[in-house]
Amino acid sequence: MSDHSIFTRPARFAAIAPYVWMVLFFLVPFGFVLKISLSQTAISQPPYTPVFDFAAGWASIEAAFGALSSDNFHLLLSDDLYVLSYLRSLVVAAVSTSILLAIGYPIAYGMARLPKQWQPIAMMLVIVPFWTSFLIRIYAWINILQHDGLLNQILLALRLVSAPVVWLSTDSAMYLGIVYSYLPFMILPLYAVLAKMEPALEEAAADLGASPREVFWLVTFPLSLPGVGAGVLLCFIPIVGEFVIPDLLAGSNALMIGQTLWLEFFTNKDWPVASATAIVLLALLLVPLLLYDRLQRRQLEQAR
Amino acid sequence: MAGDASNTAIVEEAEKPVPLPVLIADMPLLRIEGVVKKFGGFRAVDHLSLDIRAGEFFALLGPSGCGKTTLLRMLAGFETPDEGRILLGGTDIAQVPPHLRPVNMMFQNYALFPHLSVRDNIAFGLKRAGMARAQINARVTEMVALVKLEGFERRKPDQLSGGQKQRVALARSLARRPQVLLLDEPLAALDKKLRESTQLELMELQRRLGMTFIIVTHDQEEAMTMAGRIGVMDAGRLEQVATPRELYEAPQSRWIAEFVGDVNLFDGHVESRDAHRLTVSTRDAGTLTVAQSRYLVTKTIVSVAIRPEKVKLSRRGPATDSAAAPAINRLDGVVTDTSYLGGFTVYKVRLDSGAVVRSSMANTARLEMNAYSAGQRVVAWFTPDDCVVLEQ
């Protein structure tokens, strides 16, 4: 029995570890945020009530639970600011993800069809930007896009424009920044699926009379759907909550939900409303995740 | 069942197909003319020419890397020759893309579409040809019956055994009734028993459909079992094109003799010759009398090739009363090794010169009457006609 446990104990720990991690670093903080979202704002430290007073005993905790309310969630629905922020986030994420897919797919396809010895180099080129801080890269874009930046200088030098164009603080600049930053997250899962695909499948389709376009839409694309799903989720979900890129590159007339959340937390010091905003955002993002999960499960069942 | 009318129908419905080959007497269905394919500086196929007749079962045989698969891929359209022409019924198809060729291929690992059912895999090519739905259904049903897969139509490739996948691949490649069916190592993934039964089924199918089959294989037994003619390739060239029997009994070169089957080879030089016989002096087997080869041997440095089953063993040598007796080659030696293989036994005999000769003898008697054992002195003998003399 004792020499069994030598092997089973680490194995059991390895199986449990992810759950421990999830509970400690996701569920517990989530519980905090959920609790704060149901509280009232207050000018105090911390800036909300009620606070659990463990020293005062059970009655105090009971009272605290009784004081919880869903006022903050009502506020989110009643004020246009929040609804519009959510909508803008979803629209920006959807548009960006579509652009990312349209650009990322051909790149991933090209990489997967490169001679084997060139593929690791192409992969490196996709990953290399990660070696530089994300913030520095976004600041570099500000430099390029600003009034007397590189882009305007080139356009003026080529006489394509007569006066500097306003690029910075526009939606175009924001989309540019998002697409630039998230492109590797779209390319890598697509590349992984396309590189694994047996080249004989495309040849078989052509052999059976499929034109190059038919080969792509009837064989290549359907077989790459798991990669498309992974890439879309890897981009869509973080873009919805994106804060830095819209804050630095977009104008200030319309806010994404990440920016609204930041304002509530740091400018308004309204932690309860900020927490409620975060909870609703999480609920919104769970929808596509669950859909993807169901889709994958159905595919697995079909394959069985 | 493969009527000409339906052939025409499919081809006419395709996008911009190569016209249906018109068979002219004396003209082969497929003519490969001086085809060269280079990959970088490497010539995978090197000025290769070959004619294949309609209705033939032709095998391309060769070691891996000999260019046989590259040649097949050029016939399918996946590779384009750098030089030469590929004429199908008189039309040069060398530059025609694969989807416009009236040729189909069965892939080595089947390349079944994993996201489509058996039925949709088979129907894939028919849909591309723009066939009517009712016709497609009828043809799929017919193909499913042909490869005996009734009841499996809705399965996905993942849910099939290796043998079933092989059948789906075959049905899919036959569904369009191609002029020529190319088979790339079609049986390599099957186990031995299944491979043998499938070989017979493929031959039967080819005879029934009257199609032209070109198979690529590295397995000489498979090529000899199935094909009417075999082209043996090495280093991008055809070494010999012949029937299985010719290939085995009358190899054109030392390389072929060694590649196809097992062989004893003795190097030597010609001492004298007449119209029918050569006398060859060898280092290992003394002076041998051999029949003149069909490809007239003119050089003096030669090799004498004898297949192991042509080498007979006996305790005292052959009977000496026949007229041919003086010409019979006799080699004295000691049995060093015996391998019992069921139907026959392979003996290794070390000659007094030190060279080793292999002899395989059919085990015609169930009891060990005629068997020889290691250490026994024997005479290994063979007639002049048993030998093939080859230029080195």
Residue with tokens 């376009």: A213
Closest CA to A231 of A96, A91, A133: A96
Across the range B337-344, mean pLDDT stands at 90
Give start and end residues of each alpha helix (H) in B129-277: 133-146, 162-174, 192-209, 220-226, 244-249, 254-259
Compute and round to an integer the Cα radius of gyration of chain B: 25
- What is the spatial distance between Cα A209 and Cα B102, in angstroms, rounded to a whole number? 9
Q: Which of residues 209-228 of A touch B (CB under 8 A)?
A: 209-212, 214-215, 218-219, 222-223
Residue A169 is part of a domain; what is its CATH number? 1.10.3720.10
In a domain, A12, yes or no: no
First CA to last CA distance, chain A: 38
Residue B58 predicted with pLDDT over 90: yes
C-alpha B369/C-alpha B373 separation (Å) is: 11
Query: Which residue reads 């994420």 in tokens?
Result: A93
With a CB-CB cutoff of 8 Å, which residues 59-88 of chain B face chain A?
76-78
Compute the average pLDDT of residues B82-106.
94
Q: Does the CB of A16 have a partner CB in chain B at under 8 Å?
A: no
Question: Mean pLDDT over residues A97-117, rounded?
Answer: 96
| pLDDT-based confidence at residue A64 (cuts at 50, 70, 90) | confident
Q: How far apart are CA B355 and CA B20, in angstroms?
A: 58
Question: B8 pLDDT band (50/70/90 cuts)?
Answer: very low
State the SS3 of A32-76. HHHHHHCCEECCCCCCEECCCCHHHCHHHHHHHHHHCCCHHHHHH
Q: Which of A134-138, A145-149, B294-298, B375-379 has the lowest mean pLDDT?
A: B294-298
Chain A, nearest residue to B104 by Cα: A207
Q: Cβ contact (<8 Å) for B105 and A209?
A: no
Tell me if chain A has a CB within 8 Å of the CB of B99. yes
- Write down the pLDDT at residue B321: 64
User: What confidence category does residue B11 fall into, taking pLDDT thresholds of 50, 70 and 90?
Assistant: very low
- Which residues have C-beta within 8 Å of that of residue B246, sequence separation ≥ 6? none
| CB-CB neighbours of A286 under 10 Å | 12
Which tokens hold the place of B221?
A: 């037994």
- Distance CA(B112)–CA(B172), nearest Å, equals 9
Are B158 and A303 an interchain contact pair (Cβ–Cβ within 8 Å)?
A: yes
Q: Is A118 part of a structural domain of the chain?
A: yes
Across the range A110-123, mean pLDDT stands at 94
Mean predicted confidence (pLDDT) in B208-226: 93
Domain B4-249 class in CATH: alpha beta
CA atoms lying within 13 Å on the CB side of residue A175: 15
A205 neighbourhood in chain B, CB within 8 Å:
113, 124
Note the pTM of the prediction, 2 decimals.
0.81
- Letter string b/e over residues B277-287, b meaning 16 or more CB atoms within 10 A of that residue's CB: ebbbebebbbe
Predicted pLDDT at A304? 52
Among B101, B108, B115, most A C-beta atoms within 10 A, so best to mutate, is B115
Residue A214 tokens read as 């038919």
CB contacts, 8 Å: A304 with chain B = 158-159
- Phi and psi dihedrals of B179, rounded to 5? -65, -40
- Read off φ and ψ for residue A36, nearest 5 degrees: -65, -35
Nearest to A210 among B99, B108, B111 (CB): B99
- Chain B residues in contact with A115 by the CB 8 A cut-off are none
For residue A157, being part of any structural domain is answered with yes
Whether A295 shows a pLDDT value over 60: the answer reads: yes
Tell me how close the Cα of B192 comes to any Cα of chain A, in angstroms: 25
Task: Specify whether domain B262-391 bears CATH 2.40.50.100.
Answer: yes
Residues in B closer than 8 angstroms to A223, CB to CB, are: 113-115
Closest-CA residue in chain A for B14? A209
Binning pLDDT at 50, 70 and 90, where does residue B367 land? confident
Mean per-residue pLDDT over chain B, rounded: 88
Q: Is residue A22 part of a domain?
A: no
Q: Please count the structural domains in chain A.
A: 1
Residue whose structure tokens are 């047996």 = A198
Least CB–CB distance from B104: residue in A200, A201, A207: A207
Q: Nearest CA to CA, how far is A207 from chain B (Å)?
A: 5
Distance CA B171, CA B177 (A): 10
Q: Which residue has the higher pLDDT, A245 or B316?
A: A245
Q: Is A200 on the interface with B (CB under 8 A)?
A: yes
Q: Which two tokens stand for residue A198?
A: 């047996």
CA distance B110 to chain A (A): 9
What is residue A269's predicted lDDT score, i.e. its pLDDT? 87
- H helices of B88-182, in order, are 118-128, 133-146, 162-174
> What's the gap in Å between the CA of A118 and the closest CA on chain B?
16
Phi then psi dihedrals of residue A70, to 5 deg: -100, 20
Q: Which of B64, B127, B134 has its CA nearest to residue B99? A: B127
Measure the N-to-C terminal CA separation of chain B; round to a whole number of Å: 50
A196-204 contacts, C-beta under 8 A, 24 or more apart: A197/A112, A197/A223, A197/A224, A198/B109, A198/B111, A200/B107, A200/B108, A200/B109, A200/B111, A201/B111, A201/B113, A201/B114, A203/B76, A203/B78, A203/B98, A203/B105, A203/B107, A203/B111, A204/B105, A204/B107, A204/B111, A204/B112, A204/B113, A204/B172
- Mean pLDDT, to the nearest integer, of A194-198? 94
Task: Kindly state the DSSP code that residue B371 receives in the 8-state scheme.
Answer: -
Q: Name which residue leads in pLDDT, A1 or A170.
A: A170
The residue type found at B349 is V
3-state secondary structure of B91: strand
Stated as kind and residue range, the H or E segment containing A17 is helix A2-22
A209–B113 C-beta distance less than 8 A? no
Nearest CB neighbour to B176, from listed A200, A209, A303: A209
Domain boundaries, chain B: 4-249, 262-391
Percent of chain A surpassing pLDDT 90:
58
Q: Is residue A222 part of a domain?
A: yes
Mean per-residue pLDDT for B119-125? 97
Range of the domain at A294: 70-303
pLDDT score of A200 more than 80: yes
Query: Distance between CA atoms of A189 and A230, rounded to whole angstroms?
Result: 6
